[in-house]
Amino acid sequence: MKPFARCLLHWAVLTALVVSARAQTAERRANFTGRGGDNGKCTIEVEVDGVVDVEIRGDRGVLRTLSGQPGLWRRFECNAPLPPNPGNFRFTGIDGRGSQTLLQDPNSGRGVAVVRIQDPKSGAEGYTFDLEWRGLSLDAGPPQRQPARRGGRIDVGAAISACQGAVEERLRRDGYRNSRIASVKADNRPGRSDWIVGTLTAQQGQGGRTYNMDFACSVDFATGDIRSVDVNRQ
């Protein structure tokens, strides 16, 4: 085979592989139903004929087919975005004839949960699983800021992540430890659209008293920077 023809063949094969790889990935945004308060939950339902990984970060999902026919989204419903460091995180496989395995916990995976589904028989099968959490965990290390932006602004999940890091730094500097966020949300009061507020518990020093606290962060939604952070005992 002549060199030019060989190059054309290699280019055609590479192009086919790239197209094939792209065809194996499907993205979806969550449909929000109600408000989660302290208790967060996402229900995911997909159609699988082979092996897929389902990746969830915040309110975004990626369905990645590893083998077999391309997987399909059926449902992605949440009452809140998956936080970067969710407290009391739990994965539960609901139905499906094959196996569902949590490959990556968001607390150890920079805010990304990964579930692998393996369908052992021919023909597509529906699989459903739940991701549940309660508040945020400050014990999992500094959170990673999410880069998602809407109209040039960071999203609420990224603002919460930035606020969480600032609160953790303030508590550490003030001598508190074993901190855990009980609730967190964007302040919806008039004139407070750039504030993240919540409650937490923290222990003063080693073996000291545990206090209930309120916190509030003023966030620059254009850059993700924290303007100010306040933490006060109740």
The residue ranking higher by pLDDT, 22 or 211, is 211
Q: What is the phi/psi pair of residue 52, to 5°?
A: -135, 155
pLDDT at position 160: 82
Q: CB–CB of 146/111 below 8 Å?
A: yes
Collapsed DSSP state (helix, strand, coil) of residue 18: helix
Q: Which of 84, 112, 136 lies at the terminal end of a domain, its last residue?
A: 136
pLDDT at position 13: 47
Report the mean per-residue pLDDT for the chain. Answer: 81
Confidence of residue 221 (pLDDT cuts 50, 70, 90): confident
Q: CB–CB of 159/224 below 8 Å?
A: yes
In the numeric block, which tokens belong to residue 155?
A: 């999203």
Q: CB–CB of 142/168 below 8 Å?
A: yes
Could you give the CA distance from residue 157 to residue 160 in angstroms, rounded to a whole number?
Answer: 5
Domain assignment of residue 38, yes or no? yes
191 with 153, same domain? Answer: yes
Q: Residues 134-153: pLDDT tens digits?
A: 876 544 444 444 444 455 67
Query: Residue 187 is part of which domain span?
Result: 149-233
Q: Would you give the DSSP letter of residue 124?
A: -
**Model-level pTM greater than 0.75?**
no
Domain assignment of residue 14, yes or no? no
In the numeric block, which tokens belong to residue 214?
A: 């309120």
Confidence of residue 222 (pLDDT cuts 50, 70, 90): confident
What radius of gyration, in Å, describes the C-alpha atoms of the chain? Answer: 22
112 with 161, same domain? Answer: no
Q: What is the phi/psi pair of residue 164, to 5°?
A: -60, -45
Say which CATH number the domain at 171 has.
Answer: 3.10.450
Q: What is the phi/psi pair of residue 218, to 5°?
A: -95, 120
In the numeric block, which tokens belong to residue 30?
A: 């969550």
Could you give the CA distance from residue 4 to residue 179 in angstroms, rounded to a whole number?
Answer: 64
Domain assignment of residue 89, yes or no? yes
Say which CATH number the domain at 81 has.
Answer: 2.60.40
Domain assignment of residue 19, yes or no? no
Query: In Å, how far are 36, 87, 116, 209, 221 from 140, measured between CA atoms?
Result: 22, 9, 23, 22, 24
Confidence of residue 132 (pLDDT cuts 50, 70, 90): very high
DSSP one-letter string for 212-231 = EEEEEEEE-TTT--EEEEEE
